[in-house]
Amino acid sequence: MPIYNISYSTQNTYSALSKESVLEFLVSPTKNDTQEVLESSFEINPDTPSYVSKNVFGFESIRFRLKNQPEKIEFKYNAIVDKKEINPFNFLPIPYEEEMAIIHSDSFGIDHFPFLSFDKYTRIPADYSCPVMQEGESVYDFLKRINQFVNTQLTYDSSITDAYRKLETTLLDRKGVCQDYAHFMLAILRVNKIPARYVSGYLNQGDSIIGAGAIHAWVQAKIPGVGWIGFDPTNNLLEDFHYIKISHGVDISDCPALKGVIKGTGENYTSYNVSVKEQIKEVNQ
């Protein structure tokens, strides 16, 4: 039962005073079967009234409305999360024929709207030959294969700062950050009729794991008869207790840590910091 101390902080600077702005932070870990939020708190500087709102998928965000917005806004969020040490990959798959029958049934596709749809983040370019499930390959085996495939196809490039890159662009330069890995994998899975969703969250990073100091992104796919299972193509890992989920959605547009609507003419610069620390380790030392 690892317990994590999580902190997210951001600093927004604006080159000019703006009349009004609304900021929305989607940074609070969600509560589900594998994780529980023991404590959480946030502060904003300058002090501004806030409220918590749920998005279409039921995830909670914190919203602020600022009038005559100052040139600098700081936001800090802290949480203590208890993560269960369940192995989500310890499941019994259903027989292959049954699995295929479900995947190819109309109702399965209909029930999983919108996690089978394509847009600019998840549409595979026409000239790209997309990997397909092999005869006899189970959904789980295919997922593991694609997780590795995506990992090897792209090179991690932390100099990319645009979080909203089209898949087309990613496939052109074969580079990306975690969002791009996730979108690429979502696209391949959806082509193969496997419902797949974009996940944002925190990653308890060891030394060799990519995603330090940032909100991480990975993928959850629906295995017929089993449920939603997570894959991290950026690191070619499976989602386990090191992954603390914030939210899921169709793609990045449902899950950014910060959305801002700013009425004004100035430029906007954002810097942020994320840290995840495991409490138990500290106690043991």
Partner 1 sequence: MQNNEGLFNNYPLTNNLFDEVFSSPGKVQDYYQQLISNFDTITASEYQMMNESAKKSFLYQGITFATYNQNPKGVERIFPFDLFPRIIHQPEWDVIEKGLLQRAHAINLFLHDLYHDKKVLKDGIIPKELVFSSGNMLKEMNGFTPPGKIYCHISGTDLIRHSDGNYYILEDNVRCPSGVSYVLANRDAMKRTLSRMFKKFNVSYVFDYPAALLEVLQSVGPKGVDEPVCVVLTPGIYNSAYYEHSALALKMGVELVEGRDLFVDQDFVYMNTIYGPEKVDVIYRRIDDAFLDPLAFRPDSVLGVPGLMSAYRKGNVSLVNAPGTGVADDKAVYAYMPEIIKYYLGEDPILKNVPTYRCDVESDMKYVMEHMDELVVKPVDQSGGYGIFIGSQETKESIEKEKALIKSNPRGYIAQPIMNLSVHSTYIEKTEKFEPRHVDLRTFTLIGKDYEYVLKGGLSRVALKEGSLIVNSSQGGGSKDTWVVN
The residue ranges that bind partner 1 (CB under 8 A) are: 20, 22, 24, 49, 51, 53-56, 63, 65, 106-107, 109-111, 113-114, 116-117, 250, 259, 261, 263
- The closest alpha carbon to 57, from 220, 217, 247, 221, belongs to 247
Q: Closest separation between CB of residue 15 and partner 1, Å? A: 19
For partner 1, which is the closer residue by CB, 186 or 276?
186
What is the full DSSP assignment across the chain? --EEEEEEEEEEEESS-EEEEEEEE--SPPPBTTEEEEEEEEEEES---EEEEE-TTS-EEEEEEEEEE-SEEEEEEEEEEEE----TT---PPPHHHHHHHHTSHHHHHHTTTTT---TTTPPPTTS----PPTT--HHHHHHHHHHHHHHHSEE-TT---S---HHHHHHHTEE-HHHHHHHHHHHHHHTT--EEEEEEEE---TT-S-TTS-EEEEEEEETTTEEEEEETTTTEE--TTEEEEEEESSGGG--SEEEEEESSS-EEEEEEEEEEEHHHHHH-
Q: How far is the CB of 112 from partner 1 (least distance, A)?
A: 10
Minimum CB distance to partner 1 smaller for 47 or for 207:
47
Please report how close the Cβ of residue 25 comes to partner 1 at its closest, in angstroms: 12
Q: Between residues 95 and 125, which has the closer beta carbon with respect to partner 1?
A: 125
Query: Residue 116 or residue 133: which is nearer to partner 1 going by CB?
Result: 116
Q: For the CB of residue 51, give the shortest distance to partner 1 in the complex, in Å.
A: 5
- Minimum distance of partner 1 from residue 54's CB (angstroms): 7
Complex with partner 1: residue 51 or 267, whichever CB lies closer: 51
Among residues 73 and 276, whose Cβ is nearest to partner 1? 73
Compute the least distance from the CB of residue 21 to partner 1, in Å.
9
